[in-house]
Amino acid sequence: MSDKFFDYIIHGGDYNPDQWIDTPEIWDEDMRLMNLAHVNSATVGIFSWSMLEPEEGIYNFEWLDELLDKLHENGKDVILATPSGARPLWLAQKYPEVLRVEESGIRNEYGVRHNHCLTSPIYREKVQNINRRLAERYKNHPAVKMWHISNEYCGECHCELCQEAFREWLKKEYKTLDNLNFKWWNGFWSHQVSDWSQINSPKFRGENHVPAMKLAWKRFVTDSHISFFENEIVPLREITPDIPITTNFMKMYDGINYQKFAKHLDLISWDNYPAWDKGRNVAEAYETAFVHDTFRSMKDGQPFFMMESTPSLVNWHDVNKLPKPRRQELSSIQAVAHGADSVQYFQWRKSRGGHEKFHGAVVDHCGHENTRVFKEVAKLGRNLEKISDVVGKRTNSKVAIIYDWENKWATGYFCGYNNLERDYYKECTKWYAPFWKNGIAVDVISMDDDFSKYDLIIAPFLYMLKDGVDKKIEDYVYNGGKFISTFLTGIVDKDDLCHLGGFPCGNLKEVFGIWAEETDSLPKGVENAVEFNEHYYKAINFCDIIHAENAEVLAHYKSDFYYDTPAVTKNNYGKGTAYYVAFCDKGRFSKEFIEEIIKEYDIKADTEIKADSGVSIRKRGNVIFIMNFSDGVAKVTLDREYLDIVNGTSVSGEVTINECGYLVLE
């Protein structure tokens, strides 16, 4: 499909007027307010099943007809949701097998949302049926521009149907029991499987110590979600082949391999809820940027939607600090800068009751437009209209960081070394930060993606190397790539079986020119010191003890019994260079080391603009975004004259940006 689904940035969000069915005057008021807020779109129908089909086979689409017409009359695009995220009570009561069985083995009662079996034939049938009716009814409705499938797919089911499906999946994956027994190392603790029927899902009260089995289960759950999704969209593809399809992802949620699921979507969308104004805004900013870049990289750079965000606060953080004025505006602009073609909110109007009634919304319980939040949304809406040029534009990155969903699982499952502090996400964002700070675009990719288009790849804590990935790295470096690894690289294969013959596995010992003999783990509060360029840096959590067999040693440990052994090495291999950072950095080393790398290889920022610390600069198409995430006014030095698109003025030289402020230049 195309990169560009609309000619303008979508500004809108979840709209649930079915909760206000008894007060039609509120529907009309909403239209008035949407116009005031420069909102051009609404996402409707999420969780509306019991309104659409109040009893089995009894349908009620009239309200939705009226709603879509009203939205269309007011010039709003509609993103229409399928309602599978929460089933009606009558359905759960009549077909209890649609309810999920948790790991405990006990079937849930009806409640909350996302509480359905992914395998259940009857649930899949009922979902297809309601989706088909939606598609039939609205296939020609001029307002409907996109399908939003279900909502935030998540979770898993352990019912007998799912157990059977898991066994079938395993047969396909492993072919023979001998192979499975070998791959799962079932000789350990006498766990050899002699019949497929002996296998159940991993459970706290059953098998829970076989990492390969847990990985298989995660892969199965991912495939179950994809299969459930593919089943949902059958009637949509059939009846509305031209309407693009998405579903909303949840940040780095690791219950589903999003890198795999993404290939099945026309467009990626995700729900963005950073925790601003908790004393770490710059870190929150680059971590959020990292997530945007992850989703942008999943379909080869294609722009994505920010399907949800809050115009003020959420209700589900531990403590929901109010973001400062303009903070959410800045947060929205950041999404666009990193590749989003939409700014959408959960939700338009606050619920009156229920679990999420204190979640921020454009329209508050007071019901009018005279609130700080409403005014900010309206202002942003106006601004977004001015920068519609970016829609569909891709980003060109020569640097990639590998963040791989399956490696995330594997690093979470192994027992050993440091069992307390082992945060793959943190390792990756730590190495992302210096690029963000220097205004250099980065892709975030999986180990299965194409390496060849990058000048530099960083693969923090790449514990799992699937078959062939070692060769891929070798080829990449051999052909001129720069590659940086950190501790515990290349330990296991896809099934968490250790590679034999010394770490990092296989030929990587030659590529990096080292052998990692042991790994030390440091308890919280204990640090080692690393000397690099005559400065000292702090190592925490993990320290590989390595032998520099051919590599040049760039830094040494300065403490403990491995004092003066290599901590960072560099090895030229073929036309490229491979670096090994043997330790887990506390934060300063990665920054200064990457700055050296940037200098050494002359890696270019997106622009020549310079700015104070805490300011992020991104280029998308011809548009430059300068965003101030620091806790105060920031200075920016422009390298030439630019057009300030928002204000329509020309700017040059040194300019200042207020806290939470931004500039959009061309």
Contact 41, 148 (CB under 8 A): no
Q: What are phi and psi of 501, to 5 degrees?
A: 95, 10
467 makes contact with a copy of itself (CB under 8 A): no
SS3 state of residue 190: helix
Amino acid in the structure at residue 243: I
Instruction: Please say which residue, 163 or 438, places its beta carbon nearer to a copy of itself.
Output: 163
Given the residues 53, 152, 329, 406, the one annotated as active site = 152
Q: Is 308 a catalytic residue?
A: yes
Instruction: Please say which residue, 108 or 438, places its beta carbon nearer to a copy of itself.
Output: 108
| CB-based contacts of 593, cutoff 8 Å, min separation 6 | 532, 568, 581
- The H or E element containing residue 292 is helix 281-298
Give the rounded distance of the alpha carbon of 576 from its chain centre. Answer: 31
561 makes contact with a copy of itself (CB under 8 A): yes
Among residues 20, 40, 69, 37, the alpha carbon closest in space to that of 363 is found at: 37
**Which of 113, 426, 472, 556 is close enough to bind a copy of itself by CB under 8 A?**
113
Among residues 128, 129, 149, the alpha carbon closest in space to that of 243 is found at: 149
**Which of 2, 57, 112, 648 is close enough to bind a copy of itself by CB under 8 A?**
112
Shortest reach from residue 361's CB to a copy of itself, in Å: 12
**Which of 129, 179, 208, 396 is close enough to bind a copy of itself by CB under 8 A?**
208
Q: What are phi and psi of 462, to 5 degrees?
A: -85, 75
640 CB neighbour count, 10 Å cutoff: 9
Shortest reach from residue 618's CB to a copy of itself, in Å: 26
**Which of 25, 62, 195, 467 is close enough to bind a copy of itself by CB under 8 A?**
195
633 makes contact with a copy of itself (CB under 8 A): no
Task: Name the one range near a copy of itself by CB under 8 A: 3-11, 249-257, 521-529, 620-628.
Answer: 521-529
353 makes contact with a copy of itself (CB under 8 A): yes
Distance CA 531, CA 628 (A): 33
Distance CA 289, CA 652 (A): 26
**Which of 6, 63, 95, 182 is close enough to bind a copy of itself by CB under 8 A?**
182
Distance CA 33, CA 361 (A): 13
Per-residue DSSP letter, 187: T
Contact 651, 638 (CB under 8 A): yes
**Which of 189, 467, 602, 648 is close enough to bind a copy of itself by CB under 8 A?**
189
Q: Is 534 a catalytic residue?
A: no
**Which of 13, 211, 481, 504 is close enough to bind a copy of itself by CB under 8 A?**
211
212 makes contact with a copy of itself (CB under 8 A): yes
Task: Name the one range near a copy of itself by CB under 8 A: 398-406, 416-424, 528-536, 573-581.
Answer: 416-424
Tell me, residue by residue from 120 to 139, as one string, x for binding to a copy of itself by CB under 8 A and - for no binding. --------------------
Task: Name the one range near a copy of itself by CB under 8 A: 6-14, 358-366, 450-458, 596-604.
Answer: 358-366
18 makes contact with a copy of itself (CB under 8 A): yes
Distance CA 526, CA 142 (A): 63
Instruction: Please say which residue, 518 or 641, places its beta carbon nearer to a copy of itself.
Output: 518
Cα–Cα distance list, 190 to 186, 193, 213, 217 (Å): 6, 9, 15, 20
648 makes contact with a copy of itself (CB under 8 A): no
Distance CA 286, CA 618 (A): 12
Which residues between 77 and 96 bind a copy of itself (CB under 8 A)? 83, 85-90, 93
Distance CA 17, CA 626 (A): 37
Q: Using CB atoms within 10 Å of the CB of residue 145, give its burial: 0 to 12 exposed, 13 to 18 middle, 19+ buried.
A: middle
Q: What are phi and psi of 55, to 5 degrees?
A: -135, 160
Tell me, residue by residue from 320 to 339, as one string, x for binding to a copy of itself by CB under 8 A and - for no binding. xxx-xx--------------
Tell me, residue by residue from 484 to 513, as one string, x for binding to a copy of itself by CB under 8 A and - for no binding. -----------xxxxxxxxx----------
Q: What are phi and psi of 39, to 5 degrees?
A: -95, 130
Cα–Cα distance list, 488 to 35, 183, 378, 472, 586 (Å): 55, 21, 49, 18, 16
277: left (phi over 0), alpha (psi -120 to 50) or beta: left
Instruction: Please say which residue, 199 or 441, places its beta carbon nearer to a copy of itself.
Output: 199
379 makes contact with a copy of itself (CB under 8 A): no
661 makes contact with a copy of itself (CB under 8 A): no
632 makes contact with a copy of itself (CB under 8 A): no
**Which of 524, 535, 575, 635 is close enough to bind a copy of itself by CB under 8 A?**
524
The packing angle between helices 281-298 and 327-337, to 10°, is: 30
Which residues between 262 and 281 bind a copy of itself (CB under 8 A)? 278-279
**Which of 168, 230, 517, 549 is close enough to bind a copy of itself by CB under 8 A?**
517
Rg of the chain over Cα atoms, rounded to whole angstroms, equals: 26
The packing angle between helices 211-239 and 405-413, to 10°, is: 150
**Which of 50, 227, 438, 507 is close enough to bind a copy of itself by CB under 8 A?**
50
184 makes contact with a copy of itself (CB under 8 A): yes
**Cis preceding-peptide flag for 19 (omega within 30 of 0):** no
User: Residue count at the site for a copy of itself (CB under 8 A)?
Assistant: 116
Shortest reach from residue 501's CB to a copy of itself, in Å: 6
19 makes contact with a copy of itself (CB under 8 A): yes
**Which of 22, 25, 62, 467 is close enough to bind a copy of itself by CB under 8 A?**
22
Given the residues 53, 156, 308, 369, the one annotated as active site = 308
Contact 117, 218 (CB under 8 A): no
Diameter over CA atoms, the chain = 77
**Which of 35, 74, 108, 550 is close enough to bind a copy of itself by CB under 8 A?**
108
Instruction: Please say which residue, 356 or 475, places its beta carbon nearer to a copy of itself.
Output: 356
Which residues between 29 and 48 bind a copy of itself (CB under 8 A)? 47-48
Tell me, residue by residue from 539 to 558, as one string, x for binding to a copy of itself by CB under 8 A and - for no binding. ------x-------------
The catalytic site residues sit at 152, 308
